[in-house]
């Protein structure tokens, strides 16, 4: 990261729960990059954030932002339904693009994004599957690639949001695409990454165990699915909104000669408390807490790819695949049938 390399000026769109964090990271934690523009519909939030982070340009219209010639790259953290449109516009304007997951909320949208990316082969395009940038997941993945656990037998992954954030989840439910697309899409990405194969069929169940509100979107507050992959690996995914203990993302990969578990206890840090409740670990509060450094690392990788003229290991096709699979899981859940891919 020599200082002679070009500094990458970034414009970021969406200043919500995650967008604010991405903006702060770009502003101060990414050597080689600077936050040059911000975009959000909410003008107060926009002004306040741009002032606080010392950002020169502010926009309420994304299309205008991408016309700013001083900007090299965009980071898209807007609502999922806007992703592909913004991807297209940004690439067309010659910008490198980092977009949050999911790539798109329909497979058609994803295909549009694919075409846009294909049309700009010299631009860096990256999708925010941040778990791939978590040091524990990275460490485990290396072991698996090295053959330490043999052939994959069972891949199990949980994404649980804390009950304490249920209100927001309910409000957001109509636009999230459902548990499989909104939450399990990360586990789907991990499954493909660790197992190195694609799903063959899926059975999905679940329900509204505590919050009937999800029912109106044909969704559940807790859902799961069992998939057989083409290489015979079994994949079991669980996504829930009612975790009593905090934000719990955990994964287990059972191989023929070894087993790995990542974050089986979602401990917030290395402190153990011994008190009247026993011996306990306090848990991560939410994705910002748990994946704090992954969000930095993924943007760093995006910036480094631009500066070093490389391509990230996650492609737009991975984004499409994950959306496709998530949709099929959703369909299996809604119909109660065993579906093929």
Ligand X SMILES: NC(=O)c1ccc[n+]([C@@H]2O[C@H](COP(=O)([O-])OP(=O)(O)OC[C@H]3O[C@@H](n4cnc5c(N)ncnc54)[C@H](O)[C@@H]3O)[C@@H](O)[C@H]2O)c1
Q: Which chain residues interact with ligand X by CB under 6 A?
A: 13-19, 39-42, 62, 77-80, 82, 100-101, 128, 130, 287
* Least CB distance to ligand X at residue 104 (A): 10
Pick between residue 125 and residue 238 the one whose CB is nearest to a copy of itself: 238
Q: Does 7 bind a copy of itself (CB under 8 A)?
A: no
* Least CB distance to a copy of itself at residue 272 (A): 4
Q: Return the one option of ligand X, a copy of itself, none that residue 50 interacts with (CB less than 5 to 8 A, by type).
A: none
DSSP letters spanning 20-89: HHHHHHHHHT-TTEEEEEEE-S-HHHHHHHHHHHT-SEEES-HHHHTT-TT--EEEE-S-GGGHHHHHHH
Report the C-alpha gap between 100 and 15 in whole angstroms.
12
* Interface residue with a copy of itself, options 17, 58, 120, 245 (CB under 8 A): 245
Residues contacting residue 159 through CB under 8 Å, at least 6 positions apart = 183, 184, 186, 187, 237, 238, 239, 240, 248, 249
* Least CB distance to a copy of itself at residue 329 (A): 12
Q: Return the one option of a copy of itself, ligand X, none that residue 78 interacts with (CB less than 5 to 8 A, by type).
A: ligand X
φ/ψ bin of 314: left (φ > 0), alpha (ψ from -120 to 50), beta (otherwise)? beta
Question: Are residues 156 and 190 in contact, defined by beta-carbon separation less than 8 angstroms?
Answer: no
Sheet holding 33-39, edge to edge: 57-59, 33-39, 8-13, 73-76, 96-100, 125-128
Q: Taking the chain, what is the end-to-end CA distance rounded to the nearest angstrom?
A: 43
DSSP letters spanning 157-195: EEEEEEGGGHHHHHHHHHHH--HHHHTHHHHHHHHHHHH
Q: Does 242 bind a copy of itself (CB under 8 A)?
A: yes
* Interface residue with a copy of itself, options 86, 222, 320, 323 (CB under 8 A): 222
Q: Does 107 bind a copy of itself (CB under 8 A)?
A: no
Pick between residue 117 and residue 263 the one whose CB is nearest to a copy of itself: 263
Instruction: Scan residues 190-209 and list those touching a copy of itself (CB under 8 A).
Output: 203, 205-207, 209
* Least CB distance to ligand X at residue 110 (A): 13
Pick between residue 39 and residue 204 the one whose CB is nearest to ligand X: 39
Q: Does 171 bind a copy of itself (CB under 8 A)?
A: no
Report the C-alpha gap between 224 and 113 in whole angstroms.
28
Q: Does 285 bind a copy of itself (CB under 8 A)?
A: no
Q: Does 268 bind a copy of itself (CB under 8 A)?
A: yes
Pick between residue 174 and residue 215 the one whose CB is nearest to a copy of itself: 215
Residues contacting residue 189 through CB under 8 Å, at least 6 positions apart = 101, 129, 131, 132, 314, 318, 322
* Interface residue with a copy of itself, options 18, 45, 53, 170 (CB under 8 A): 53
* Least CB distance to ligand X at residue 307 (A): 23
Q: Does 37 bind a copy of itself (CB under 8 A)?
A: no
* Interface residue with a copy of itself, options 68, 120, 280, 286 (CB under 8 A): 280
Distances in Å between the Cα of 98 and the Cα atoms of 68, 133, 222 are: 17, 14, 30
Pick between residue 103 and residue 233 the one whose CB is nearest to ligand X: 103
Query: Interface with a copy of itself by CB under 8 A: which range of 76-84, 102-110, 117-125, 149-157?
Result: 149-157
Pick between residue 112 and residue 201 the one whose CB is nearest to a copy of itself: 201
Q: Does 77 bind a copy of itself (CB under 8 A)?
A: no
Q: Does 145 bind a copy of itself (CB under 8 A)?
A: no
3-state secondary structure of 215: helix
């Amino acid at each position: 990261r020599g200082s002679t390399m070009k500094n990458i000026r970034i414009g970021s769109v969406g200043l919500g729960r995650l967008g604010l964090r991405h903006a702060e990271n770009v502003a101060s934690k990414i050597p080689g990059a600077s936050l040059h523009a911000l975009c959000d519909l909410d003008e107060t939030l926009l002004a306040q954030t741009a002032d606080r982070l010392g950002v020169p340009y502010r926009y309420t219209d994304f299309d205008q932002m991408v016309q700013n010639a001083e900007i090299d790259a965009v980071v898209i953290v807007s609502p999922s339904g806007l992703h592909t449109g913004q991807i297209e516009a940004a690439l067309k304007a010659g910008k490198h693009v980092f977009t949050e997951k999911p790539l798109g909320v329909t497979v058609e949208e994803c295909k549009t994004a694919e075409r846009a990316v294909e049309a700009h082969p010299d631009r860096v395009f990256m999708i925010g599957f941040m778990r791939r940038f978590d040091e524990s997941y990275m460490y485990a993945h290396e072991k698996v690639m090295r053959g330490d656990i043999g052939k994959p037998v069972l891949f199990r992954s949980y994404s649980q949001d804390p009950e304490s954030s249920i209100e927001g989840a309910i409000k957001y439910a109509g636009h999230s695409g459902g548990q499989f697309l909104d939450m399990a899409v990360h586990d789907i990405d991990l499954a493909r990454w660790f197992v190195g194969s694609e799903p063959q069929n899926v059975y999905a169940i679940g329900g509204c165990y505590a919050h009937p509100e999800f029912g109106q979107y044909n969704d559940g507050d807790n859902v799961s699915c069992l998939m057989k992959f083409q290489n015979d690996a079994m994949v079991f995914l669980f996504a829930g909104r009612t975790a009593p203990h905090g934000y719990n993302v955990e994964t287990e990969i059972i191989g023929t000669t070894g087993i790995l578990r990542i974050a089986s206890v979602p401990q917030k840090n290395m402190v153990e408390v011994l008190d009247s409740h026993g011996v306990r670990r306090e848990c991560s509060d939410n994705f910002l807490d748990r994946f704090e450094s992954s969000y930095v690392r993924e943007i760093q990788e995006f910036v480094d790819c631009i500066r070093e003229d490389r391509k990230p290991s996650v492609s737009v096709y991975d984004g499409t695949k994950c959306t496709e699979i998530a949709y099929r899981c959703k369909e299996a859940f809604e119909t109660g049938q065993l579906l093929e891919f």
